[in-house]
Structure 1
C-alpha cells in the first residue's frame, strides 16, 4: 500500500466522517484525488464501511463481557457462529487458538441479562462457557498503526 493511501486510511480510522476537503488538506492532495483514492480503497476492500461508535451506557447496555465457548461434544460440527448469529447481544465472535473455540464479546443491561444470555448461548450452540466481566475500558476502537508495510498479507499465508 502506498504511503499516501496509508495516511488516508489512518485519518479515516481516527475520524470516519472526515470530509474529502479535510482529507485533502491533511494529505496535500486535491479533493478529487482524495475522492478517487478513497473510492479505490473502498473498491479494494481496504475500507469496508463506516460506523457510528455507540455510548453503550447511554443506550442501556453498560455491561460488557467476554465469553469463551467450547463444544460440549468435540466431535460436533463447528457451527457455533451460525447457531449464535440470532443473539444480538453478541457484538463480536472471534475464532481462537487454545482450549476454547471462540471468544464472544457481549453487551448487556445487567448481571441478570448476562446470566440469561449465557443460558441462551449454551442452549443454542451446545457449548460450555467461561465468562470474564469487563470492569472498565481504558481504550477501545484505536486506529491501527499503518506506518510500515506488514510482513505478510493474508494472501501470503
Structure 2
C-alpha cells in the first residue's frame, strides 16, 4: 500500500458510498485509477468489506458489558467467526493472560446481554467467561 491507497481508504472510511468519480476528483487522480486500486485492495483482502453505521439517538439507552473468554486455542478462529454473528458484540480483542479474548457488547436491555452471555458460554471451545457491567465511560476517544 502506498500513500494513494491510504488516501482512498480514508475517503471510503468517511463515506463508503461515495462514487469513484467523486473520490478521484477529491484526490486529483483518474476515476479508473481509484476503481482499479479499490478492486486490487479488495482482492488482496486489505479492504475486507463495508458496513453501515447507524445513528444512535440520545434516547436510545445502551447497557454495555465487558466479557472475558478463555477458549481452546485450536478453536479460536472458529469462535471469532461465531462472535461476528452477534450484533451486540462491538469489539473483540485478543489478549494475553488468564483469558484469551476480551469482548465489549452493547444492547438496550441488560436482559438481552444476559442471554448473550449464556449463549457465549455454550459456544463449543469456550472454556469459561467472566463478565463485568460498564457503569460509565470516564475517557472515550472514539
Q: TM-score range by the shorter chain?
A: 0.7 to 0.9
Pairs aligned (count)? 134
Secondary structure of 1:126 counterpart: strand
Structure 1 residue aligned with 2:8: 8
Matches of 1:36 and 1:3 in 2, distance apart? 15
User: What displacement does 1:61 show?
Assistant: 7.7
Structure 2 residue aligned with 1:74: none
In structure 2, stretches of 5+ residues that fail to align are none
Q: 1:63-102 maps to which residues of 2 (within 5 A)?
A: 63-70=63-70, 77-78=72-73, 79=75, 82=78, 85=82, 88=86, 89-102=88-101
Matches of 1:83 and 1:45 in 2, distance apart? 21
Q: Normalising by structure 2, report the TM-score.
A: 0.73
Bigger mean CA offset, 6-15 vs 92-101:
92-101
Secondary structure of 1:97 counterpart: coil
Greater percentage in helix: 2
Q: 1:7-156 maps to which residues of 2 (within 5 A)?
A: 7-55=7-55, 62-70=62-70, 77-78=72-73, 79=75, 82=78, 85=82, 88=86, 89-124=88-123, 125-133=126-134, 135-136=136-137, 138=140, 140=142
Q: Normalising by structure 1, report the TM-score.
A: 0.67
RMSD: 3.0
